[in-house]
Amino acid sequence: TAESFKRVQALDGDVEAFLTLNEEQAKTAAAEMDAVPFEERGPLFGLPIGVKDNIVTNGLRTTAASKILEDFVPIYDATVVEKLRQAGMVTIGKLNMDEFAMGSSNENSAFQNTRNPWNLDHVPGGSSGASAAAVAAGEVPFSLGSDTGGSIRQPAAFCGVVGMKPTYGRVSRSGLIAFASSLDQIGPITRNVADNALLLEAISGLDPKDSTSANVEVPNFAAALTGDIKGLRIAVPSEYLGEGVGEEAKQAVLDALKVLEGLGAVWEEVSLPHSKYALATYYLLSSSEASSNLARFDGIRYGFRAEGTKNLVELYEQTRSQGFGDEVKRRIMLGTYALSSGYYDAYYKKAQKTRTLIKQDFDKVFEKYDVIIGPTTPTPAFKIGEKIDDPLTMYANDILTIPMNLAGVPAISIPCGFADGLPLGLQIIGNHFDESTIYRVAHAYE
């Protein structure tokens, strides 16, 4: 813990990953742990971790990188934070993100621009950009992020670390500030696959506080790291190596497939024909859910309240106008529109139907194959400022990560080579609740 704070002190002036540090509480917690007998200590005991700032922490400021929650101090812990404590982990502080997890570059934070440790002129990705950057910079060995449409995997790829989006329902969302409840999942970001497997096991499991958390057994994921992938069947969707995906990203995947073949796996090209609708489907559904979820930020219940307003309606209007950033407002407007009577059938309902088709594409492939492999992102990390004025180009960055959230399947990003001195990510996707196979393949490749 002390080393972690030293490293933050030395590097965070450049990386700007942390929004809030937890120095007092962390040092007290670490000191208390010294008293725990050795036999009672699990594999993660005493290790420092950073937590994305949309995961609530009792007594520790939690902002979701929004002005509307600038001074918000929660009065309870998210279930995952409670589980970290049970594992003996020490929360070092809260990590920057795109406001309410809406974004792909951390540039939508109301507070600061986190930078990519590999090249400070480049973005770390988003929305869990700082969760990936802090691990890449060695400020913390572990962090938690959240992934609604790629927000763990894309930053992990951009920063050259390992990031897992678990199966929807694997990890409790209780205490995760909701963006799109049917897509959001919390997951681990680490420097290697073994650490990732340990951390996922620690945070997984059924939770009575989240009715969408699944009643399935939590395996010992680390036991899957055997190195043996002989006979493993890999599907490679042609859509993930097609138009819009950069040459370097494609080549990196083909090289990785050679390595996996060398280890005894076999691969074939397949098609996920409805992939082309994923981006539109995602932005309609996620914005619709966000417009409903973010209705609670009204200036009465939480955080920021506009001053000098004359009546209740004006107070709502002014609080939300001043408290939310541009991207959040854009999504609330889009979502409200898609849910309005007269438009609901044409947009929201249609998107729900398309979501089912996208999920069925995955189901079909998993009847014959163990994992699906492709790139995590079309390109390596782009420059700060490069895409911020063009939301559609920014959204297009997510084409390879969004389908998995719509289908609810788990997927990991692991480092796989470089382009222009910046890391690239390999994405390995598994069937529902089969994170073990993903970890097995990732570890064999690593």
**Catalytic residues, which ones?**
52, 127, 151
| Nearest residue to 411 (alpha-carbon basis) of 97, 137, 148, 124 | 148
| Nearest residue to 173 (alpha-carbon basis) of 189, 184, 158, 159 | 184
Q: Which residue, 156 or 198, is less far from ligand GLN as judged by CB? A: 156
Cα–Cα distances (Å) from 67 to 19, 114, 323, in that order, read 12, 17, 5
Least distance in Å: CB of 285 to ligand GLN? 11
Burial of 298 (0-12, 13-18, 19+ CB in 10 A): middle
Least distance in Å: CB of 325 to ligand GLN? 12
Least distance in Å: CB of 147 to ligand GLN? 5
Least distance in Å: CB of 64 to ligand GLN? 11
Q: Which residue, 66 or 148, is less far from ligand GLN as judged by CB? A: 148
Least distance in Å: CB of 271 to ligand GLN? 24
SS (H, E, C) the chain: CHHHHHHHHHHHHHHCCEEEECHHHHHHHHHHHCCCCHHHCCCCCCCEEEEECCECECCECCCCCCHHHCCCCCCCCCHHHHHHHHCCCEEEEEECCCHHHCCCCCCCCCCCCCCECCECCECCCCCCHHHHHHHHCCCCCEEEEEECCCCCHHHHHHHCCEEEECCCCCECCCCECCCCCCCCEEEEEECCHHHHHHHHHHHECCCCCCCCCCCCCCCCHHHHCCCCCCCCEEEEEHHHHCCCCCHHHHHHHHHHHHHHHHCCCEEEEECCHHHHHHHHHHHHHHHHHHHHHHHHCCCCCCCCCCCCCCCHHHHHHHHHHHHCCHHHHHHHHHHHHHHCCCCCHHHHHHHHHHHHHHHHHHHHHHHHCCEEEEECCCCCCCECCCCCCCHHHHHHCCCCCHHHHHHCCCEEEEEEEEECCEEEEEEEEECCCCHHHHHHHHHHHC
Least distance in Å: CB of 317 to ligand GLN? 25
Q: Which residue, 284 or 444, is less far from ligand GLN as judged by CB? A: 284
Least distance in Å: CB of 186 to ligand GLN? 11
Per DSSP, the chain holds a count of helices (H) and strands (E) of: 14, 11
Q: Which residues bind ligand GLN (CB under 6 A)?
A: 101-104, 127, 147-151, 179, 286, 398
Least distance in Å: CB of 428 to ligand GLN? 18
Q: Which residue, 75 or 392, is less far from ligand GLN as judged by CB? A: 392
Least distance in Å: CB of 339 to ligand GLN? 17
Q: Which residue in the block uniquely carries the two structure tokens 């007998």? A: 37
Q: Which residue, 156 or 234, is less far from ligand GLN as judged by CB? A: 156
Q: Which residue, 174 or 436, is less far from ligand GLN as judged by CB? A: 174
Contact between 96 and 65 under an 8 Å Cβ cutoff? The reply is yes
Contact between 378 and 246 under an 8 Å Cβ cutoff? The reply is yes
Q: Which residue, 150 or 323, is less far from ligand GLN as judged by CB? A: 150
Q: Which residue in the block uniquely carries the two structure tokens 């559609």? A: 392
DSSP 50: E
